[in-house]
C-alpha cells in the first residue's frame, strides 16, 4: 500500500453528524402514527443501516408492530420529509475539512461508501458544499448491495478511479469494519459515530477520537506497509 490512496468514508456518523435531522424525520413519522418522539441522545445508535431499518428500530422502541407494507409507507414518508430537511442541522464533524485539505495536499483521493441512498447522500453533500471533494459518492442502491458486502466497497474504489490494493476505509460502525475486512483493506475507526458497539471492540487498524487525527492515522497505515 504505497503512494496515494483512495480514502473511502462512511457518511452518517463519520463525515457528517446527521443525527439531528435523521431523528427529527423519524419523530415526524412516529408522531403521525400517534407515537411518542425518540430522544436524540438515545437514538444516535439506531442510525447507520438505512432509512427502513431506522423506522423499524423506532417502532421497536415504541413497541408498535406494523406490517412490511405499513413500514414501507412510513419509510417513504420519512424519506420525503428528510429530503426537505436534510441539512437543517447536519454538519461535518469538527476537524474534517482541515483533515481533507491536508490529505488532498498529499495526493490522496476521496470517496463515499454509505448505506444511505445515493441521491440522498449526494443531496446532503451538495447542501454542505462538499460534493467536489469526492471522486465517487455511492450508496446502498448504487450497486444493489450494502455494507458489509465487499462489492460495494470495491466498486466504489473503482468508480473513484482508484485501486483496491491502495485504499483505506474510514467508518464508525460494524459494517464499515466488516466491509474493509472482507475487501482486505485497512480500516480507521472513529469513536464519535453512531455504533451501538464501541468502536474499540471492533478492532479497527487505527482508532481516532477526532478528525484532526485522521492524516496521521492514514500516514501510519501507509508506513506500516512500506517499511
Fold of 6-17+91-226: Rossmann fold (3.40.50)
The CA radius of gyration of the chain, in Å to the nearest whole number, is 17
| Three-class SS state of 138 | strand
Asked whether the beta carbons of 12 and 116 are under 8 A apart, the reply is: yes
Catalytically annotated residues? 10
CA–CA dist 9, 187 (Å, integer): 10
Q: How much is the pLDDT for 1? A: 46
Asked whether the beta carbons of 137 and 113 are under 8 A apart, the reply is: no
Q: How much is the pLDDT for 225? A: 65
Q: How much is the pLDDT for 226? A: 54
pLDDT, tens digit only, all 227 positions of the chain: 456 899 999 999 999 999 999 999 999 999 998 888 888 887 787 886 778 888 898 888 877 888 899 989 999 999 999 999 999 999 999 999 999 999 999 999 999 999 999 999 999 999 999 999 999 999 999 999 999 999 999 999 999 999 999 999 999 999 999 999 999 999 999 999 998 899 999 999 999 999 999 999 999 999 886 54
Asked whether the beta carbons of 32 and 129 are under 8 A apart, the reply is: no
> Roughly how many angstroms between the first and final C-alpha of the chain, as a whole number?
10
- Locate the domains of the chain by residue range: 6-17+91-226, 19-84
CA–CA dist 124, 122 (Å, integer): 5
Q: How much is the pLDDT for 57? A: 85
Q: How much is the pLDDT for 91? A: 98
What architecture does CATH give domain 19-84?
Answer: Orthogonal Bundle (1.10)
Give the DSSP H/E element, type plus range, for residue 109: strand 109-113
CA–CA dist 58, 110 (Å, integer): 33
Report which of 102, 105, 121, 125 is spatially closest to residue 113, judged by C-alpha positions. 121
Amino acid at each position: 500500500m504505497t503512494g496515494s490512496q483512495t480514502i473511502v468514508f462512511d457518511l452518517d456518523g463519520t463525515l457528517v453528524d446527521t443525527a439531528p435531522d435523521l431523528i427529527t424525520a423519524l419523530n415526524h413519522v412516529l408522531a403521525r402514527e400517534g407515537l411518542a418522539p425518540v430522544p436524540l441522545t438515545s437514538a444516535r445508535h439506531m442510525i447507520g443501516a438505512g432509512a427502513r431499518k431506522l423506522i423499524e428500530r423506532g417502532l421497536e422502541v415504541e413497541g408498535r408492530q406494523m406490517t412490511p407494507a405499513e413500514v414501507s409507507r412510513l419509510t417513504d414518508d420519512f424519506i420525503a420529509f428528510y429530503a426537505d430537511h436534510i441539512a437543517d442541522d447536519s454538519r461535518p464533524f469538527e476537524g474534517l475539512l482541515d483533515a481533507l485539505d491536508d490529505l488532498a495536499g498529499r495526493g490522496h483521493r476521496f470517496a463515499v461508501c454509505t448505506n444511505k441512498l445515493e441521491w440522498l447522500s449526494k443531496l446532503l453533500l451538495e447542501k454542505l458544499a462538499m460534493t467536489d471533494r469526492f471522486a465517487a459518492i455511492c450508496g446502498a442502491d448504487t450497486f444493489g448491495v450494502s455494507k458489509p458486502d465487499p462489492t460495494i466497497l470495491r466498486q466504489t474504489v473503482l468508480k473513484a478511479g482508484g485501486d483496491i490494493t491502495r485504499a483505506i476505509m474510514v467508518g464508525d460502525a460494524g459494517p464499515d469494519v466488516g466491509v474493509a475486512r472482507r475487501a482486505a483493506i485497512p480500516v480507521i475507526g472513529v469513536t464519535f459515530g453512531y455504533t451501538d458497539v464501541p468502536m474499540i471492540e471492533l478492532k479497527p487498524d487505527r482508532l481516532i477520537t477526532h478528525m484532526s487525527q485522521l492524516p496521521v492515522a492514514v500516514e501510519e497505515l501507509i508506513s506500516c506497509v512500506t517499511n
